Amino acid sequence: MKHDRICQDTGGYLHCTNGKAIKVVNTNYGRTEYNVCRHDDIKINDCRDGGLSMTIIRNKCEGKAYCDIWVSNETMGSDPCSTTKKYLQVEYECTGKGRRFVICNFSALKY
């Protein structure tokens, strides 16, 4: 299991190697620890997004080997605790094989 944290208004990435694909297990956009992404503007230390970031990160990253993420209120779809700086916490596994795409030129096929 991999654990990554990306601070609000910064970018980061999830990645898997050896042909493995990202399987998102859990996420939270908010704040549950004071010492992560420290900032002077931390007024709440128990803030969760109610699962919205899970849907967003799964749609963006699931099944890929690499996934860039920009973390902001806009990209995470909400501002669950407007009076404090937040971070995205992601737990994911690298499993199976990544997505593969095959592009066919149907005019070249013979029946």
Residue 77 has pLDDT above 60, yes or no: yes
* pLDDT value at residue 74: 97
* pLDDT value at residue 44: 77
* pLDDT value at residue 111: 39
* pLDDT value at residue 108: 47
Average pLDDT over residues 61-90: 96
Please report the DSSP string for 28-72 in residue order.
Answer: EEEBS-TTSS--S----S-B--TTHHHHHHHHHHTT-SEEEEEES
* pLDDT value at residue 98: 54
Two tokens at 96? Answer: 């199976």
* pLDDT value at residue 76: 97
Quickly state the pLDDT bin for 83 (edges 50, 70, 90): confident
Average pLDDT over residues 40-61: 91
- Looking at residue 74, the DSSP 8-state letter turns out to be H
Two tokens at 2? Answer: 């991999």
Residue 75 has pLDDT above 90, yes or no: yes
Quickly state the pLDDT bin for 20 (edges 50, 70, 90): very high
Q: Calculate the alpha carbon distances from 108 to 50, 60, 66, 81 in Å.
A: 50, 33, 33, 56
* pLDDT value at residue 100: 52
